[in-house]
């Protein structure tokens, strides 16, 4: 699936052949059922990467996979971790609506059942899932691979770090900050392109980010042309709005 821009732009369901699962790219309207805070919180939890930890913690986890750390963290009972775990399950439900999903923490598996068939995410195939998730949801980053044994003590310490991070984010939210990337982009494109907002709500994230980036480039291009026609000199060059943007679309557009 990697680099299949047409498939990502189509909004079609995406087969993850390595796991034998069919991933559904959720529309903005579908994401609205759980909200952006829960959605992006769940995504960040699922794509946990030990490389984001400090050097000391990272070195102690050298022989443990990201997936095993994640599953160990899910066992923690503190409310903030359990809340984020529930967000992750909501995200999985959006991505795999035709499957029954179960977290098997004891055996370190995420189970997917469809009719009488069962499929699994485990330490051996989780990287394939994360790679697809990053592409489909424009999250960037990835997961690292290793061979391993889990550590409950370290998982508890990491859970504490996640709780502290959650508390800091909660404090920021009290000051009025919130996650509103998707709703903002929909609103901007509806006005900027004179489109029906309802049609934009049926976009996937990849489609929305792609169009928003193209809209930004076209806007800058038009302003540049108008300035040239008005006689402005020494203008900085602007990027051709018709250039290929798919290699960079996974990065959230700047605004």
* Domain identity same for 204 and 222: yes
* Domain identity same for 36 and 77: yes
Edge-to-edge order in the sheet of strand 109-114? 100-104, 109-114, 117-121
* Domain identity same for 56 and 163: yes
Q: What is the pLDDT of residue 154?
A: 43
* Domain identity same for 251 and 148: no
* Domain identity same for 200 and 149: no
Q: What is the pLDDT of residue 51?
A: 75
Three-class secondary structure assignment of 86-138: HHHHHHHHHHCCCCEEEEECCCCEEEEEECCEEEEECCCCHHHHHHHHHHHCC
Residues of the chain with pLDDT under 70: 1-3, 54-59, 141-179, 247-255
Of 149, 174, 199, the residue that ends a domain is: 174
* Domain identity same for 84 and 188: no
Of 128, 154, 174, the residue that ends a domain is: 174
Q: Which residues touch 248 (CB under 8 Å, ≥6 apart)?
A: 213
Residue range 79-90, pLDDT digits in tens: 888 899 999 999
Instruction: Render the chain in DSSP notation, one character per residue.
Output: -TT-HHHHHHT--EEETTTTEEE---BHHHHTTT-HHHHHHHHHHHT--GGGS-HHHHHHTTTS-HHHHHHHHHT--SHHHHHHHHHHHHHHHHH-TTSEEEEETTTTEEEEEETTEEEEE-TTTHHHHHHHHHHHTT-------------HHHHHHHHHHHHHHHHHHHHHHHTT----HHHHHHHHHHHHTT--HHHHHTSBHHHHHHHHHHHHHHHHHHHHHHHHHTT--SPPP---TTS--TTTTTSPPP-
Of 156, 174, 192, the residue that ends a domain is: 174
* Domain identity same for 116 and 38: yes
Nearest to 102 by CA among 126, 87, 118: 118
Q: What is the pLDDT of residue 243?
A: 82
* Domain identity same for 188 and 168: no
Q: What is the pLDDT of residue 179?
A: 64
* Domain identity same for 143 and 203: no
Nearest-angstrom CA–CA distance, 44 and 38: 10
Structural domain count of the chain: 2
Nearest-angstrom CA–CA distance, 48 and 141: 10
The reply to whether the predicted model has a pTM over 0.85 is: no
- Across the strands, what pairs with 111? 102, 120
* Domain identity same for 122 and 248: no
Residue span of the structural domain in which 243 resides: 180-255
* Domain identity same for 143 and 214: no
* Domain identity same for 114 and 217: no
Instruction: Show the tokens assigned to 213.
Output: 């980036």
């Amino acid at each position: 699936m990697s680099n299949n821009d047409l498939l990502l732009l189509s909004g079609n369901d995406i087969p993850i052949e390595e796991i034998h699962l069919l991933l559904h790219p959720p529309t903005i309207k579908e994401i609205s059922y759980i909200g952006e805070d829960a959605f992006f919180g769940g995504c960040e939890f699922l794509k946990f990467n030990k490389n984001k930890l400090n050097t000391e913690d990272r070195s102690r986890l050298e022989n443990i996979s990201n997936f095993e750390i994640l599953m160990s963290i899910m066992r923690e009972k503190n409310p903030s971790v359990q809340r984020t775990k529930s967000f992750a399950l909501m995200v999985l439900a959006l991505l795999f609506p035709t499957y029954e999903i179960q977290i098997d923490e004891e055996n370190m598996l995420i189970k997917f059942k469809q009719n009488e068939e069962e499929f699994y995410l485990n330490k051996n195939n989780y990287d394939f899932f994360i790679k697809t998730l990053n592409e489909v949801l424009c999250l960037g980053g990835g997961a690292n691979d290793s061979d391993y044994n889990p550590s409950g003590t370290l998982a508890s310490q990491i859970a504490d770090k996640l709780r502290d991070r959650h508390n800091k984010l909660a404090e920021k939210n009290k000051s009025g900050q919130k996650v509103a990337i998707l709703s903002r982009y929909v609103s901007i494109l509806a006005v900027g392109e004179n489109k029906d907002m309802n049609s934009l709500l049926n976009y996937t994230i990849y489609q929305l980010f792609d169009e928003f980036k193209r809209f930004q480039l076209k806007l800058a291009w038009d302003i540049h042309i108008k300035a040239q026609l008005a006689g402005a000199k020494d203008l900085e060059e602007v990027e051709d709005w018709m250039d290929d943007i798919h290699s960079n679309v996974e990065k959230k557009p700047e605004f």
